[in-house]
């Protein structure tokens, strides 16, 4: 009996992902590629670091490119988006994912730290979404924007107030965009993970290993999240089968945001 292979849901679509050399960014890029999308990757890291990963993405049978770009720089992001669109077509799947985190409470954070973190985490996400949507509208194509937010945008955390502000801003940006862009069949959502066992959280836990286990125990499901699980949620929102979900925050946190507001530091019991 001959087996017919299933058509890939995102076959031939153009995706663009920022922070694509980070742990969650890589998982998102790979997942979208395995579902058939050509992927434009952007990050601040050296292009040499991107080479092995580009090979891996291309191994899924799609096209991929890497651009070194600081998302805080609106002009650089515009140039990246235009170059990617020239290569793969207007980006139908836009995933602003790049972020940094500064461990400094309100009394300790400097105006420079506050401004830089908003520049990357909020303005940077805006720059990519804005430039990408302009390309889509000019091409008269439908699309999906999925911001990578955080449960920290839904609850106050005293040790990372700047990060919380940026992620809360993203949620409102995605809702305003969703309302404005729905008539153009551009759906805009946010995936808001809790504790992912990688990336920014893993970086903090490296400095304080017992905090990882404490964090896990604080999650009602008692589980940390795998980057591939975040990527699957992003891909689900990108799937053409999703024709109705827009302006939503898909909180992927094992119930963490249902627990009481905390004044404790990351991972404290
Ligand atoms: N790890 C977690 O527990 C967790 C939880 C919730 C949300 N998130 C979100 O997931 C996303 C990815 O984070 P991660 O955990 O994979 O961290 P990560 O540090 O592994 O990845 C972030 C990537 O963004 C890149 N980046 C930083 N500044 C940039 C800039 N100015 N321009 C372009 N790229 C830049 C970094 O080089 C890095 O590759 C972020 O939006 C983060 O807020 C992470």
For residue 198, how far is its CA from the centre of ligand 1 (angstroms)? 10
Please, which contacts does 104-113 make with residues 24 or more away whose CB atoms are closer than 8 Å? 104/159, 104/160, 104/162, 105/158, 105/159, 105/161, 106/158, 106/161, 109/161, 109/162, 113/162
Please check whether residue 189 is in contact with residue 247, taking contact to mean a CB–CB distance below 8 angstroms. yes
What CATH number does the domain containing 134 carry?
3.40.50.720
Question: Is 25 contained in some domain?
Answer: yes
Q: What's the whole-number mean pLDDT along residues 147-160?
A: 96
Output the residue whose Cα is nearest ligand 1's atom 11: 97
pLDDT higher than threshold 70 for residue 118: yes
Say if 189 falls within a structural domain.
yes
Tokens linked to 43: 């990050």
Dihedral over Cα of 151, 155, 156, 159: its sign: negative
SS3 137: helix
Residue 25 in contact with ligand 1 by CB distance below 6 A:
yes
3-state SS assignment for residue 252: strand
Q: Using only C-alpha atoms, what is the Rg of the chain? A: 18
In whole angstroms, give the CA distance from residue 35 to residue 51.
21
Least confident of 4-8, 85-89, 264-268: 264-268
The ligand 1 atom at the shortest distance from the C-alpha of residue 195 is: 3
Residue 265 counted as domain residue: no
Query: What is the rounded distance in angstroms from the CA atom of residue 152 to the CA atom of residue 156?
Result: 7
Query: Over pLDDT 90: what percentage of the chain?
Result: 93
Atom of ligand 1 nearest to the CA of 121: 41
CB of 193 closer than 6 A to ligand 1? yes
Alpha-helix runs per DSSP H in 89-160: 111-118, 124-139
The verdict on the CB of residue 40 being under 6 Å from ligand 1 is no
Predicted pLDDT of residue 136 = 98
Query: Ligand 1 centroid vs 145 CA: distance in angstroms?
Result: 17
CA atoms within 13 A of residue 20's CA, in its CB half-sphere: 35
Distance 191 CA to ligand 1 centre (A): 13
Report helix, strand or coil for 250: strand
Lowest-confidence region among 2-11, 128-137, 153-162, 196-205:
2-11
181 domain residue, yes or no: yes
Confidence at residue 27, expressed as pLDDT on a 0 to 100 scale? 98
3-state DSSP assignment of residue 218: helix
Take atom 43 of ligand 1 and give the residue whose Cα is closest: 99
What pLDDT was estimated at residue 260?
73
For a pLDDT cut of 70, what percent of the chain falls above it?
95
Domain assignment present for residue 121? The answer is yes
Cβ burial of 146 (10 Å; 0-12, 13-18, 19+) is buried
Label residue 50 by pLDDT band (50, 70, 90).
very high
Query: Looking at the domain assignment, is residue 89 inside a domain?
Result: yes
Does residue 200's CB lie within 6 angstroms of at least one atom of ligand 1?
yes
For residue 93, the enclosing domain spans: 14-196+226-258
Please report whether residue 167 resides in a domain: yes
Would residue 4 count as lying in a domain?
no
Taking only the tens place, the pLDDT of each residue in 215-224 is 999 999 999 9
CA nearest ligand 1 atom 30, residue: 70
Kindly state if the Cβ of 21 falls inside 6 Å of ligand 1.
yes
- C-beta of 22 in contact with ligand 1 (< 6 A): yes
* Structural domain total, the chain: 1
Residue 39 binned pLDDT confidence (cut-offs 50, 70, 90)? very high
């Amino acid at each position: 009996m001959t087996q017919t292979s299933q058509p890939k849901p995102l076959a031939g679509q153009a995706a663009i992902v920022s922070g694509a050399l980070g742990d969650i960014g890589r998982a998102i890029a790979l997942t979208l590629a395995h579902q058939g999308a050509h992927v434009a990757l952007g990050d601040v890291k050296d292009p040499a670091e991107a080479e092995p990963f580009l090979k891996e993405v291309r191994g899924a049978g799609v096209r991929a490119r890497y651009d070194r770009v600081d998302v805080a720089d609106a002009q650089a992001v515009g140039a990246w988006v235009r170059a990617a669109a020239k290569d793969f077509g207007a980006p139908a799947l836009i995933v602003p994912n790049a972020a940094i985190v500064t461990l400094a409470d309100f009394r300790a954070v400097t105006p420079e730290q506050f401004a830089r973190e908003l520049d990357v985490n909020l303005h940077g996400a805006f720059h990519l979404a804005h430039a990408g949507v302009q390309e889509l509208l000019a091409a008269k194509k439908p699309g999906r924007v999925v911001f990578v937010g955080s449960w920290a945008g839904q609850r106050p955390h005293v040790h990372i107030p700047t990060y919380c502000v940026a992620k809360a801003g993203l949620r409102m940006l995605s809702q305003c965009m969703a309302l404005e862009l729905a008539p153009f069949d551009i759906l805009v959502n946010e995936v808001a993970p809790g504790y992912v066992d990688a990336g920014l959280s893993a970086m903090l836990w490296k400095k304080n290993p017992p905090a990882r286990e404490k964090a896990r125990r604080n999650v009602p499901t008692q589980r940390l999240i795998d980057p591939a699980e975040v990527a699957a949620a992003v891909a689900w929102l990108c799937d053409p089968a999703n024709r109705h979900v827009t302006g939503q925050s898909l909180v992927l946190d094992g119930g963490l945001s249902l627990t009481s507001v905390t004044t404790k530091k990351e991972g404290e019991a």
